[in-house]
Copies of this chain bind each other. A is one copy, B any other.
Amino acid sequence: MAKKYLMTPGPTPVPEEIRNEMAKPIIHHRTKEYQAIFKDATDGLKKMFKTSNDVFTFTSSGTGAMEASVVNICSPGDKVIVVRGGKFGERFGEIAKAYGVEVIALDVPWGSGPCPADIKDLLKNNPGVKAVYTTLCETSTATVFDIKAIGEVVRATGAIYVVDAISGLGADKFENDAWGVDIAICGSQKGLMIPPGLAFCSVSQKAWKAVETSKLPKFYFNFKKYKKAMDATDTPFTSAITLVIGLKKALEVINGKGVDNVIAEHIAQAEAFRSAVKAMGLTLFSKSPSNAVTAVNTPAGMDADALIKLLKTEYGVTFAGGQEKLKGTIFRAAHMGGIDREHTIESIKALESALAKMGYKFKTGSGVDAVTKMLGK
């Protein structure tokens, strides 16, 4: 059977050494042995987030941690600013509305990032805004937002700065504390290269003050329960043991290399991939491309989903399609987590073959030349 290349922006391939670690006989979670694993994983997360704040681990998808970032700091009737430039920014707004929190939306065109000055104006014109919700990498549009610049605007106000870094962390540059992020959210199946099932929240001192006064109802995602348990190196509810064991191992790998070096590797892959598709005459969807994932417009008249199907069935390469209004017009390839140099090169080779088979005219070998020029053969 030919080797398969999973290039989706979550899950990303889980390296064999991590899969094997998770496949060992299970241990109980209320033991010193597990406490040590959980503590190592938590310390490793803090390094990766670049934070001295607490980082909590939830058994949930990333959306669960997004909900946690709303229900733990807001009260009914609070106003929050939500940057909506794709499916996941919109989700923050949907969660806030579901809990009776008023959403001041900053809608930006899909594929673009928000202008920090616009957020500054919204904060000025809406005194008392409880929080600003935005995204590091908007996975649906493969767009990176300027989290550092927005942070400079938000930190000068009383608003809590919440960043969905679910797909960006480990591929796009991110500095939790230096950039003034109060709550950063991540998921397990992206840059952390373990299976889906865990989500994470860092929580700053500024955010804790909001937690103390928050009146929204919560139980499973209640930060206070996680904080109390964490102070005893424990979790309030049964921990997803095998995933945390994988997390510990993945963070050993990532922090062993150094997170900046890991990010540099993924940036190199992202740049090489973008260079290759451009050499083939294709265009990028995003005006501010993320290094976690690249969205490519299919040539006029070509159905992206047909291309994706062909790549998967004939060449063993799995790209992701467009979501919602982008369905059928883009394909997305990730560069984070377990996706390595070989994945990047092989996916471009397959893309050349598939595009040719579908009748797209371009200079044969131009993509492969571009990608290998940057990543080596």
Contact = CB atoms under 8 A, between A and B. Distances in A.
A240 B99 contact: no
A195 B240 contact: yes
Contacts of A95: 219
A119 interface: no
B26 A59 contact: no
Interface residues of A, number: 52
A237 to B, nearest CB: 4
Among A10, A14, A61, A241, the one with the most B-chain Cβ atoms within 10 Å of its Cβ is: A61
Interface in A224-280: 237-243
Contacts of A28: 6, 8, 11, 318, 320
Interface stretch (A15-23, A284-292, A357-365): A15-23
Contact of A60 (B13, B27, B30, B220): B220
Contacts of A60: 59-60, 64, 220
A19 B23 contact: yes
Contact of A59 (B31, B197, B320): B197
Nearest to A96: B219
Given A59-B196, A219-B99, A240-B196, A23 B26 contact: no
A100 B218 CA distance: 10
A222 to B, nearest CB: 8
Given A61-B238, A62-B238, A217-B100, A11 B23 contact: no
Copies in the complex: 2
A4 interface: yes
A29 interface: yes
What 4 A-B pairs are tightest by C-beta distance, nearest first?
Answer: A197-B240, A23-B23, A61-B237, A195-B242
Contacts of A237: 61-64
Given A6-B26, A13-B25, A63-B238, 9 more contacts: A19-B23, A20-B23, A61-B239, A63-B219, A64-B237, A98-B217, A100-B217, A187-B238, A195-B241
A90 to B, nearest CB: 13
A320 B31 CA distance: 10
A26 B217 contact: no
A153 interface: no
A98 B241 contact: no
A19 B217 CA distance: 37
Contacts of A11: 26, 28-29, 238, 241
A216 interface: yes
Contact of A14 (B26, B196, B217, B219): B26
A246 to B, nearest CB: 9
A141 interface: no
B62 A59 contact: no
Contacts of A195: 26, 240-243
A107 interface: no
Contacts of A94: 219
A67 interface: yes
A189 B197 CA distance: 14
Contacts of A29: 11, 196
